[in-house]
Amino acid sequence: MKNKSVKGARISERKFREVLKYFAHDLPALTACKLCGLNYRTVHRLFELLRQRVVAIAVKESPALGGEVEIDESYFGARRVRGKRGRGAGGKIPVIGLHKRGQNVYLSVVKNCSKQELMPIITGRVIEGTDIYTDGWKAYDGLVLKGYEHHRIHHHQNQFARGKNHVNGIESFWSYAKFRFLKLRGVRKERFLLHLKECEWRFNHRRSILYPLLLSILRKIPLSAT
């Protein structure tokens, strides 16, 4: 049967839908190729095309955030060098995460976690007047002057939650994202952002059944294998 979902594909629509189901269930390409009987290069290529599509959608769908927003940074990469922890961890990729409680996350890779790096992302993505929750990191100083209601939780003082004052939501997302990266068993630095934004898209659609959602996306604009 002609493949309507992937232009120029050398596999049938039926076989592609099988691959699509494995992608929707977040299985590794190596596992998927064994289950569907296709070679690894074919499955890996299809997974890459799908990943690029959902990342493009994630970028397009990213709305401004309001209401109650938690903000935090995290570090991704190899195991830390002994003696270097947290924001001083060497060789890791810093990422800022903005989480509208109960809804979406927005992620951005940054050069470092300085005020100069973080503040433009926050003011560009978070609606003025929003309640923002952060830890005590100094880069967040001045959010009140930017028109936000700023609430802090000071982890270094063993504070982790005081009623609504916490960053548990974004910290839960970090755990989810890092578990996904562990399953990948290493990602090249130049491909990190692609996989990170896939995490964002999957999390933001966590209440959806991804297989029919992906099918509906491909019906509108098929992938191109060429």
Q: What is the CATH number of the domain that holds 161?
A: 3.30.420.10
What pLDDT was estimated at residue 143?
A: 97
Closest by CA position to 53, among listed 201, 188, 176: 201
Q: Cα angle at 132 between 204 and 200, to 5 degrees?
A: 20
Task: State the average pLDDT over residues 5-20.
Answer: 91
Is 206 inside any structural domain?
Answer: yes
Do 108 and 23 fall within a single domain? Answer: no
Q: Does residue 40 belong to any structural domain of this protein?
A: yes
Q: Do 173 and 216 fall within a single domain? A: no
* Token pair of 178 as six digits: 């890092």
Q: pLDDT tens, 163-210?
A: 678 899 999 999 999 999 998 877 888 999 999 999 999 999 999 999
Q: Above 70 in pLDDT, residue 162?
A: no
Structure confidence at residue 3 (pLDDT): 85
Q: What is the pLDDT of residue 156?
A: 53
Asked if 36 and 93 sit in the same domain, the reply is no
What is the extent of the structural domain holding 213? 6-61+202-224
Same domain (yes/no): 178, 158:
yes
**Does 195 map to a domain?**
no
Q: Are residues 152 and 206 in the same domain?
A: no
Q: What is the pLDDT of residues 58-90, one digit of tens each?
A: 999 889 999 999 999 999 986 555 555 555 556
Selection from 15, 19, 25 nearest residue 209 by Cα: 25
Q: 138 falls in which pLDDT band (50, 70, 90)?
A: very high
**pLDDT tens figures, 82-135:** 555 555 556 799 999 999 999 999 999 999 999 999 999 999 999 999 999 999
pLDDT for residue 43 is more than 70: yes
What is the average pLDDT score of the chain?
Answer: 90
Enter the pTM of the model.
Answer: 0.89
Q: For the range 144-149, what are the long-range contacts, defined as Cβ-Cβ under 8 Å and sequence gap of 24 or more? A: 146/119, 146/122
- Count of other CB atoms within 10 angstroms of residue 69: 26
Looking at the structure of the chain, the number of domains it has is: 2
- 115, 218: one domain: no
Quick check: is 91 in a domain?
Answer: yes
Q: What is the pLDDT of residue 134?
A: 95
Q: Are residues 82 and 149 in the same domain?
A: yes
Per the domain annotation, does 196 fall within a domain?
no
Same domain as 157, residue 77: yes
Which of 114-118, 160-164, 221-225 is the most confident on average? 114-118
Tell me, yes or no, whether 52 and 113 share the same domain: no
